[in-house]
Structure 1
Amino acid sequence: LSRRHILASIDASLERLGTDYIDLFVIHRFDPDTPIEETAEALDAVVRAGKVRYLGASSMHAWQFMKLLAFQRHNRLAAFISMQSQYNLITRDDEEEMIPLCREEGIGLTPWSPLGRGILAGSRTSSTVRADTDEQVVQWYEGREEVGETVAAVETVAQARGISPAQIALAWVLGQPGVSSPIVGMSKPHHLHDAMGALSLTLTAEEIATLEAPMLRCRRAPRW
C-alpha cells in the first residue's frame, strides 16, 4: 500500500474500467511494510483528485483498522466508510472486535462470503469441483461438527418456509446490526433470485435461535 502502488493501481483500474472515477476503492489487508501515514495520504490524494469517491478497507485486525482510521480523522484526510470482512453464520470472529468498532465509528459493514464459500447455500457436495479443489473450504470448515449442524439448521428453516437455504443464510447476515450490504458472487441466474429474495425476508426470533444454536454451543471466548 505504498503511494506509488496506490496511484498506479488507481490509474490502471480507471483505464480498464473506462471510467473517470471509482465509487468505492477498497484496500485489501493491512500492509506492515508501509507507514500508515504514506498509505493514508496517498488514499486522500486520489479522493481529492476526483479519481475515487469513497474509501473502504478489507480483511485486517480491528486494531490495524482503527490505527489507520484514527490517523485519517486526526489529520482531516479522506477516511474509510466501509469494512469488508468475512462474516456468516459459521464465521463470526468479527463480532468480538471489528463489528463493535465499526458500529461505534459509523463504518458500514460489507461482509464477504456470506454463504461460507457455498456451504450455507446447501449446494456443496463431494462431487463438485469446488469441494475437491477449494483448499480454504477444507481449512476453514471441514471436520467441524458445528458447521454441519449449522448447515442442517439452515436447511430446516428453509424447508419450513419453502425457500432456498441461500436466502435464509443471506437474510441472517442482512439482519445483523451494522451490516450495509453483503458481497455475493453470482454465476447462475438462481443466485440473483436468492439474493433478491433475501432482501425482503425477515427471520423470526425462533428461526434465528435455531440457526445460531450450533455455533453458540462451541463458542470459546475471546474468539469463535
Structure 2
Amino acid sequence: MPFIEVQHCIEIVSIKNTNKTYTKMESQSDNNMEYRNLGASGLKVPALSFGAGTFGGNGPLFSHWGDTDVEQARRLIDICLEAGVNLFDTADVYSNGASEEILGEAIKGRRDQLMISTKTTLPMGDGPHDAGSSRHRLLRAVNASLKRLQTDYIDLLQIHAFDGSTPIKEVLSTLDDLIRSGKVRYVGVSNFSGWQLMKSLAISERYGYPRYVVNQSYYSLVGRDYEWELMPLGQDQGVGAMVWSPLGWGRLTGKIRRDQPLPEKSRLHETANAGPPVNDELLYDVVDVMDEIAEETGKSIPQIAINWLLQRPTVSSVIIGARNEEQLRDNLGAVGWNLSPEQVARLDDVSEKPAAYPYWPYRRQEGFRKLNPPLV
C-alpha cells in the first residue's frame, strides 16, 4: 500500500512520562483537519496552522516573503477557516508590525472563530527598551500587539528568542501577570535551546508560574536538529512543537533540483543566508526520494514534506505559509492521508545527518541506544 488515506476517523495517540499524559492527535472532522492538544495543555489546535509572515512585505527580509494586503489576507483566511485551520501565527517583528495590523483588520467580525498566536522579544527599534523580554518591554509589546491586532486578548504568546540579559523569573512573573489580567491565555517560546527551555520550566515549577506549553521550532526533512535535544525534552515535559519553515526555507517546493539553477523568483536568491543552512547534496538526495514517493502517492513535494512532519513525536501543529491561494490549497492537501511506514523510513534514511556530540553515541552505539531508545 503506497500511502494511507484517512477519512472521518478518530485516533488517540498519547505520549507518556512518569507524571503526565498528553494527546498528540485528537480527531478529524469532515474537512479532514486533525486537532491536537498543544503540548500538555487542554488547548486544541489544528495540525496545520497559518503563518502570517507574508502579510505586509515591509523591510529587507519580509519583502521577499510576500506582500499580502488586507483584501488578499481575508481571502486566505476564508480558505483556512473552511479547511478547519483556525490558528494564525504572527509576530510583532514581522514587517515591523504590519503583519499583525493586516491580520487584525482581516479577521474583523470573526475573532471568536479563530485563535491568534503572536511573538515578541526581537528588536522593534534601536531604543534600550525596543528589544528583549524585560517586564517593561513585555508589557509595552503586548499592549502594542493587542492594538495592532484589534483584540483584547492573545490566545498564545511566545517569547521569540531567549533574552540572556533578563532574569528568567522576571520574564515568567510578567507572563503570569498578563495571563491573570486576561490579555494572554497560553504562553510558549520560539528558538530556545534545550537548557534555556528546561531552566524556564524548572523556575515555573518552583514558583508556580505558567509553564510554556509550546516551543515554536525549525524542523524539516533537510533540518532535523530538533530531534537531538528539543524533541526528547518536549516529550518528557509535555511541550508541543509548532514547526516553522517546514519546507526548509523554501527548498522543498519541488522547484529546486540537481543540476538546475534556482528558479528566477525563488526567495533564496536574497534570503538564503538569513535562513537555516542546508547542504546542497543532502537537499538533492532528499528531493530524489520525494520524487519517487510523489510518483507513488500522487501527492506534491510540499505535501510529502509536511505529512512527514505531522507523523513525528511532539509535533502539535505545522505552520504553513502562502503568498497566494494556489500555494495555500496545495499545503492544505498535506492532511487527510498518511505516508506509509515504508515511505517514512525511506525519508528518514535519506535525510539523516551525523549528530553532534553528545548525541551521536546515543544514535550509533548499541549500549547507549538500549538505555535511551530513540523517539524516531
Shorter-chain TM range is: over 0.9
User: Aligned partners of 1:118, 1:129: CA distance in 2, in Å?
Assistant: 8
- Moved beyond 4 Å, runs of 4+: none
Tell me by how many angstroms 1:206 deviates: 1.4
Letter in 1 for 2:249: R
Q: If each structure's helix is expressed as a fraction of its own residues, which one has the higher value? A: 1
**Cα RMSD after superposing both structures:** 1.7
User: Could you say what secondary structure the match of 2:303 adopts?
Assistant: helix
Tell me by how many angstroms 1:193 deviates: 1.9
Aligned partner of 2:14 in structure 1 is: none
The answer to whether the 8 A contact 1:36-1:68 is kept is yes
Aligned partner of 1:162 in structure 2 is: 298
The answer to whether the 8 A contact 1:6-1:42 is kept is yes
Alignment counterpart, residue 127 of structure 1, candidates 250, 259, 264: 264
Aligned partner of 1:48 in structure 2 is: 180
User: Aligned partners of 2:275, 2:137: CA distance in 1, in Å?
Assistant: 33
User: Aligned partners of 2:199, 2:275: CA distance in 1, in Å?
Assistant: 33
**Residues 1:58 and 2:194 aligned together:** no
Q: Which runs of 5+ in 2 are unaligned?
A: 1-132, 257-261, 361-376
Aligned partner of 1:203 in structure 2 is: 339
Tell me by how many angstroms 1:20 deviates: 0.8
Alignment counterpart, residue 2 of structure 1, candidates 129, 134, 137: 134
Q: If each structure's strand is expressed as a fraction of its own residues, which one has the higher value? A: 2
Q: Map Cα deviations across residues 103-132 of structure 1 (whole Å, 9 max, x no partner).
A: 111111111111101211213434224131
Q: Which runs of 5+ in 1 are unaligned?
A: none
**Residues 1:177 and 2:309 aligned together:** no
The sequence identity of aligned pairs, in percent, is 38
Q: Map Cα deviations across residues 35-76 of structure 1 (whole Å, 9 max, x no partner).
A: 111111111110111000000100011100111111112111
User: Could you say what secondary structure the match of 1:120 adopts?
Assistant: coil
The answer to whether the 8 A contact 1:26-1:57 is kept is yes
Larger Rg: 2
Equivalent residues in 2 for 1:7-156, closer than 5 Å: 7-124=139-256, 125-136=262-273, 140-141=277-278, 143-156=279-292
> Size of the alignment, in residue pairs?
222
Letter in 1 for 2:152: D
Residue 163 to residue 28, structure 1, CA distance change in 2 (3 Å) = same
> TM-score, normalized by length of structure 2?
0.56
Letter in 2 for 1:131: L
The answer to whether the 8 A contact 2:228-2:355 is kept is no
Moved more, 145-154 or 93-102: 145-154
